[in-house]
Amino acid sequence: MSAESGHRPGDSIRDSSRPKALVLHGPNLNLTGRREPQIYGTTTLAEIDAALQERAAALGWDLAICQSNHEGALVDFLHAHFGNCDGIVINPGALTHYGLSLRDALAAMGVPIVEVHLSNIHARESWRHHSVVAEIARAQIAGLGWHGYLVGLEALDRLKRS
């Protein structure tokens, strides 16, 4: 922790007058743009995050973004922001179907959650159809490719302002 700023390296610093959204990317999403591009597209995760930052700035939001291939790391990220966010956009990846500790950590946050999937999980293999996050999410966006993240952020903005 820096004695001057009171912040650790990597901490998100925010203007407290602006709402804050968390964006979580689950397992294998670090390979977005390279992994099965016929399903997930060719836009990289870095490009998605840059587009999200740009849209968030235009909407007047601050973002904190986390990608991990490990459920516990995503839970830790949520816990680190407990009481300090206004909404969550999440693509849980494979954790969609069985990530119960992630689901419980999301539910504990007490803020609107928008679940996002690059592909339409309901038009794919039957095991992909069930989401443990859906029952606690305000919305689920599937099949819009990387644009679904932007739609999710815009949905959070509308929910916050209504």
Which residues are marked as active site? 40, 117
**Residue 66 DSSP SS3:** strand
Question: Could you tell me where the DSSP H helices lie in 15-66?
Answer: 37-40, 45-59
Helix (H, G, I), strand (E, B) or coil at 55: helix
- Across 33-132, the runs of DSSP E, i.e. the strands, are 62-67, 87-91, 113-117
Q: In the numeric block, which tokens belong to residue 105? A: 């950590």
